[in-house]
Amino acid sequence: MGFPKTGTTSLSKFFSCGGHEAAHTWAIPNRTHPPPPLGTEEEEVKPERCGKCIKANIVRKRPPLEGCGAFDIWSDCSYADWVDKTYDVDCYFPMLQGLAEIHAAYPHATFLLGTRDPDTWYKSVSKWGDLEDRLIHCNATGFPNGNINVHNASARRDSLTTLLTTQNQLVRDFVAQHPSHTLLEVDIHANSSQTTATKLSQAFGISSHCWKNIPPNKGKVNSIKQKELEEQLVLENGVVVEGPK
């Protein structure tokens, strides 16, 4: 349930290490569990953004994860892409825009909220390609939607750090109002790595050795272009929910 750049690569790898099927950014529609043998027709289904699959289901009044693949863990299912070459951004954040629908379909889901110091998080966002600009121009509720002085560094930082803290509190408030969910918050900062590993291990019964704070591939960051966005990892948003039964 965390925001982009709050450690979902590390979180998804943790669960994969523990033997769970984890969808990270991408989903394989209608994929069975476990994966079919290589070379079969189903194995060759092209993956798509899990956020796009979730959004399409919600628009059609279906369970959010229906047909998106038989995964145990759903991580990094938000996206924010430029529309053509304008400042319009096609964006969707399930933990904000689809939270009520996720609750309705999966009332006992476990929500995992990765947290970071807001200023540290902002520095990470600002160094990840043009992610900062895409978040600033996203028109989802609560986002700046370009309604700030985009040339003012302080305004940009303040708008996004406020967005982060507000979103985190929204998740906490939602779980307080819907206590059928379990909410686990973990600080994904490297300095608290051992504490995070122990907390995750105790909560999910997975060896603490599976936790590694994995930095994004910086070599890819410098080469990100809009035409490549569909093929690159560009957002990090931690979501752990029940998969379809």
Extract the tokens encoding 74: 């759903």
pLDDT reading at 232 higher than 60: no
Give 109-136 pLDDT, tens digit per residue.
999 999 999 999 999 999 988 999 999 9
The proportion of the chain whose per-residue pLDDT surpasses 90, expressed as a percent, equals 44
pLDDT at 193: 66
Place of tokens 């349930």: 1
What's the whole-number mean pLDDT along residues 212-232? 44
What's the whole-number mean pLDDT along residues 159-187? 94
Extract the tokens encoding 143: 């986002």
Rounded to the nearest 5 degrees, what angle is found at the Cα of 229, between the Cα atoms of 222 and 80? 110
CA atoms within 13 A on the CB side of 84: 2
Between CA 235 and CA 135 the distance in angstroms is: 10
pLDDT at 60: 94
Q: Which residues contact 107 (CB under 8 A, 6 or more apart)?
A: 178, 180, 181
Between CA 143 and CA 133 the distance in angstroms is: 11
Q: Are 160 and 40 in contact (CB under 8 A)?
A: no
Q: Which residues contact 183 (CB under 8 A, 6 or more apart)?
A: 1, 110, 111, 113, 171, 172, 175
